[in-house]
Structure 1
Amino acid sequence: MTATTSTNPVSTTSSPTTPLTVAVLGPGGVGGLIGGLLARDGHRVIFLAREETAAALTRDGLHVRSAPYGEFTAQVEAATELREPVDLALVTVKGTALAAALDRMPAQAVAGATVIPLLNGLDHMAVLRERYPAGRIVAGTIRVEATRTAPGRIEHSSPFAALELAAPVEELAARLRHAGLDVTLREDETAMLWSKLSFLAPFALLTTRYRTDAGTVRTEHRPELLAVLDEITAVSRAAGAPAGAEGVLSFFDRAPAGMKSSMQRDAEAGRPIELDAIGGAVLRAAGAHGVDTPVVARLVHELSGEVNR
C-alpha cells in the first residue's frame, strides 16, 4: 500500500481522500481495534511494538473479531521504533508502560503531527506535551471493551467503541467515523477527561477489588458504588469539571452486566495494573483541591496491598 506522508496536522492540510500514515504506539485491545479499522479503510498503519509482536504483525497481519465490525484481517506494518514522519500518532499503551514505550516514538517523527493519547487518567497529558512540543497533542478518551488475545489478534466484545476528542478536528473525526468509529468532539479537555475518569475509577476499582463484573458491583456493592461516585464527583467539580453522579450512575446501570474493567483483566492475568493512573489520579486531585475521599483511598490502599503481596 502506498500513501502520501505529511508532517502537517491532519485537521488542517490533508485531503479527505488521501490515505493517512498512522503510527499506533501499543497494538493492544484499543490500539489494535482502531488501527485495524483504519487499515481496513485504506490508511497506512504502522504499529510500534516489541520485536516479537512486530514480527507477528508483519507476518500475519492484524486479525479483529468484533460483533459490530465483523471479523477481518488487515495488512499492516510494524516496527520497534518509528523512523519516518507520520500524519497521526495514536498512543494506546497502558499507563504502566508509557515511559518506556515513548522511546519507540522519537519527537522528530511526530513533529507537526496530530498526537492522540487514549490512556486512562489525567497525568499523561502533561508528559506528552513536554515530550512532543512540536506535535499537536489532542486529548482523547474511548469507551470500549477490547482485548488482545495474542500478538496481532483482537477481540472486541462491547457493542460500542465511543471516541471523544477535545479539539476542533472535524476532518480527522470524519475520517475516523468513515472507518466505523463513533466520534464526538468536545470543547473542554478537563471536563472530557474527568467524564471518563468519573466512570472508570469506580468501575475499575470496585470490579478489581471484588474480582467481579459490572452487574454484581451495581447490585451487591451498590452503597459503596454510590459513595465512590459521590467522592469522585466532588473532586471533579473542584477541578473545574461540571459533573453529576446521576449521569455516571445511569451509564453504569446501562452497561452490560458481564462487563469487566481492563484493570480487573490485568489483575487476573498477573499483569501490572493501572492503579496509580486511575485511583492515584483521583487521590492526587483530591489532595490538590482539599477534597476528602475516604472510600477511594481505602480501595486504592487495599488494591495496592494486593499488588505488593
Structure 2
Amino acid sequence: MTVPHLETPRLRLRGLDAADTEALVRVFADPEMSRFLRADLSDPAQCRASLARRVAYTGPDGTGHWVIERDGAVIGLAHLRPSAELSGDLVEIGYFLDRAHGGQGLATEAASALMHHGFAALGLPAVWALIHESNVASQNLVRRLGFTDVGCGEHYGGPHRVCVALPGVTGRWHHVELRVPDLARARTSVGWLLAELGWREHQRWHDGVSWKLGAGYLVLEQSPALSAPAHDRRAPGLNHLALYAGSPDRVDALAAAATERGWRPLFADCYRRAGGPDHYAAYLENADGLALELVADSPRITRPG
C-alpha cells in the first residue's frame, strides 16, 4: 500500500507511521478532540489502540491515513479510505487538528489536499464525509469545500450528517478530435468498437461524426487539408487512445472480434502484458493507422473487512 506525501502552502501530509504514536497521543490528550467521537482518545490507551489500527491499515493504494505536519511538528491526523459505515464502495474523508492550530484554515487546507488527491490521482467518483450533527464547525468546513448534505443516519454510535462532494469539471476533457483519411471507413471500424464499449453516436455532419460517453465526446473528421494519407502513431502527436474495456475476458473477446473486422493486433509477442505485469490490455491498429488500447478495468476500491 502506498500513501503519497501531499504538500500545501503551509502543511505537509505524509503517511502515518508507528513512530508518530506519542506525538498524536499528545494531540488527542485534549478531551475536546474526542467530543464527537465514539471513543475517548484523551485516554492514552484508547488512543494508542486506535492509532495501531490505523497503522495496520492495508486498503487500496493511494488511500489510508496521513499525519498533518506544520513546520516539522505533528499537529493532526487525516484519512481518505473506504468507509466502514456506508454501504457500497464509498470513500470517506476525515480530519483531526490540534485545537492550538485552529481558526487558521489549516483543517480546510488539509482536507482540500486530500480531496484533490482523491479526485485527481485516484479518480474517485465522489468523496463522502460523516459529520456529527452537533459538530457545526466541521459541517461548515465541508460546506466550504463543496460538499452537499444528503441526509442523516446513525454512524459511529451517534447521529451524523451524510455529506458528499463530486469532482468539478475544470481540467477534465471536453472532447478529442481526430483527423481521418476516410470517414466511412473510420466510422465502420472505430464506430463499431466504441459502440461495443458503450459509446453512442452523438452528432453527424458531412465531414465528421462524434461519439459520446459521459461528459466528453470523441470526434472523427475527414478534412480536405490532411497532410498525410494515414495516421502515423510514431510521429509527433497522438500515439493511441486507451479505453477501459471491462474484465480481462472481455478484453480478449473484443480483441478477437476486432481482428475479424480489420483491426491488426500490436505487440502480439507480449499480448496482455505489454504495459507491464500489472497491466492487462490489448493493442490494436486499424487500416488507417489509428491505434486503440483496450484496458482491463482496475480493481474496485472495497471497504475494509
Do Structure 1 and Structure 2 share a fold, with TM-score over 0.5?
A: no
Instruction: With a CA cutoff of 8 Å and minimum separation of 6, indicate the structure with the bigger relative contact order.
Output: 1
TM-score, length basis structure 2: 0.25
More helix by share: 1
Structure with more strand by fraction? 2
Q: TM-score, normalised by structure 1?
A: 0.24
